[in-house]
Amino acid sequence: MDDSKGLIIFAREPLPGRVKTRLAATIGNLAAAELYKSMLREVLKRCCELADVYTVVFWDCKAASLPFLAERYGCRSRCQSHGDLGDRMQAAFDEMFADGCKVCCIIGSDAPDLPVSYIQEAFDLLTVQQTDAVFGPSHDGGYYLLGLSRLWPELFRDIDWSTPLVLRQSLAAAERAGIKRALLPEWYDIDTEDDLEKYLARMSGAA
C-alpha cells in the first residue's frame, strides 16, 4: 500500500457470557450479546464511510471462528494475539505497519455512535500536522481511540488496563518518551446500564 491509513477495530466474537459482562449483570447474557452485535454492526457501518482507509477487524475469538465472522460481518478479519490488552494492541499495530500503513488508528466496538469525523480528525492530526500519537479520551478515564505514526512500545507497557488510570498513564508514558501527542474530544463507551441509557438518550435526541 502507498501512504496508507490503517484502522484497527478490536472486537469480540459476540457469544452470550463473553461480551458486555458488566451490562449482562443487569440485562442478561443473551440481551447483552444481541446489543453487542448491534453495536458492532453500527461501528462497522460508520467506518465504511471513511475513504481510503485500510480497515481490519481484529477478533478476540478462536481461530476456527474467523472465517465465519469475516463472512457474517463482511470485513477483513484477523485474530488478536495473546497477552493483556496492551500486548494485543501492540501486536495489531505491528501487523498493520508491516502491511505498509504509514499511520494507523485503533478503536473498539463499544462506542457505536462515535462520530466518524473524530476518526478523520485523528488521521488529519497524524498526516497533516505530523503528530506522533493521538488519543481519544473516554468519559471513564480510558481512551476510545489511539492513533500512531509508528509503533511506540512504551505506550503499551505498565498501563493499568480497564481502569480509570489508562489515559493518564498513557499520556505520562508519551511525555517520558518525547512523543508529540494530541487529544480528540471526549466520547462515551457503553459498558454499564447507565451508559446504555445515556446512549439511547443521545440517539433519541438525534432522531
Section 71-87 average pLDDT: 96
DSSP-assigned letter for residue 186: P
Give yes or no for residue 1 having a pLDDT over 80. Answer: no
* Every domain of the chain and the residues it spans: 4-206
Tens of pLDDT, residue by residue over 98-157, are 999 999 999 999 999 999 999 999 999 999 999 999 999 999 999 999 999 999 999 999
So what's the architecture of 4-206 in CATH?
Alpha-Beta Complex (3.90)
In the chain, what percentage of residues exceed pLDDT 70?
98
What's residue 3's pLDDT? 56
Give yes or no for residue 79 having a pLDDT over 80. Answer: yes
3-class DSSP state for residue 111? coil
Is-contact 9 108, C-beta < 8 A?
yes
**Beta partners for 58?**
10, 78
Tens of pLDDT, residue by residue over 26-65, are 999 999 999 999 999 999 999 999 989 999 999 999 999 9
What's residue 206's pLDDT? 64
pTM of the full structure: 0.95
Give yes or no for residue 2 having a pLDDT over 70. Answer: no
Is-contact 10 89, C-beta < 8 A?
yes
Beta strands in the chain (DSSP E): 4-12, 53-60, 77-79, 101-107, 133-137, 143-148, 181-183
Nearest C-alpha neighbor of 52 from the set 130, 120, 135, 111: 120
Q: What is the mean pLDDT of the chain?
A: 95
Give yes or no for residue 205 having a pLDDT over 80. Answer: no
Section 160-176 average pLDDT: 97
Tens of pLDDT, residue by residue over 177-202, are 999 999 999 999 999 999 999 999 98
What's residue 88's pLDDT? 98
Give yes or no for residue 207 having a pLDDT over 80. Answer: no
What's residue 204's pLDDT? 85
**Beta partners for 6?**
54, 104
